[in-house]
Every structure is written in C-alpha cells, then in structure tokens.
C-alpha cells in the first residue's frame, strides 16, 4: 500500500465516522414531560406538585401524538383543555370544589431536563 492509497483510506474512514456521528445526533429521542401545579381560591398562586417523565419516543411526532392522547384522557375525566395540557377542578376535604390541578405536557429532546441541574 503506497502513501496515497493509505491517505485515501484514512480520509474515507474519517468521513464515514463523521457521517455516522451526525446522523446519530439528528435521531435523538424525545421525552414527554408532565408538570403538575395546584392552585386554590384561598391561595391563588399555583404550587408545583411535580415534574415527571411520562414516556420516550423516537420522533417528535411520536411524542406530540402521545401528548395529545394524555390531554384527551384528561378531558374525558372532566378536565378543561388547555393549549398544552388540562385543568381539573378537584374537591377539597370538605367537598368544596375550590382547588384546581393544572397538568401541562412538554416534548423535549432527551438532552434537556426541565427540572434543571441536579445538585450534589
């Protein structure tokens, strides 16, 4: 193998590696996140109840479809549809319907965690 053939072989290997790396980056997974907030008439400032992962998907469309199904489920149990979620009025311990649970959904690439940085 002469120097020219060796150089072409190395160049081809580097280009193949770069092509594989760029296609892997483009095919990142999508994660469906759920955030729950609770608000009441006596305390109208919503309080965060939690942020959790619901599911992971290979495409943004798959994640969006899953989000739509979650919203539809919330509407079926009596919630009011919001642009990216649902609001459910829930009774308090006394039976009064003075509390609202607001559940929102977000599809994000698997490289983004909406909970922020983890502390050690």
Total residues belonging to the chain: 120
Q: Give the model's pLDDT for residue 97.
A: 64
Q: Give the model's pLDDT for residue 18.
A: 42
CB 107 within 8 A of CB 64: yes
Q: Give the model's pLDDT for residue 11.
A: 41
pTM of the full structure: 0.68
Residues 6+ apart with CB under 8 A from 101: 36, 37, 38, 49, 87, 88, 89, 90
CB 85 within 8 A of CB 46: no
CB 66 within 8 A of CB 55: yes
Instruction: Give the pLDDT of the chain (120 residues) as one tens digit per residue.
Output: 555 544 444 444 444 444 443 334 456 899 999 999 988 877 768 889 999 999 999 999 999 999 999 999 999 999 999 999 998 887 666 666 678 889 999 999 999 999 987 666
């Amino acid at each position: 193998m002469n120097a020219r053939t060796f150089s072409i072989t190395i160049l081809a290997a580097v280009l193949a590696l770069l092509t594989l790396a760029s296609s892997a980056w483009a095919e990142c997974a999508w994660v469906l996140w759920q955030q729950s907030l609770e608000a009441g008439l006596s305390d109208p400032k919503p309080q965060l109840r939690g942020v959790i992962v619901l599911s992971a998907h290979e495409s943004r469309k798959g994640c969006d479809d899953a989000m739509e199904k979650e919203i539809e489920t919330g509407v079926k149990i009596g919630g009011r549809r919001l642009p990216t979620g649902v609001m459910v009025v829930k009774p308090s311990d006394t039976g009064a319907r003075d509390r609202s649970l607001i559940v929102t959904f977000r599809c994000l690439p698997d490289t983004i965690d909406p909970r922020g940085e983890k502390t050690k």
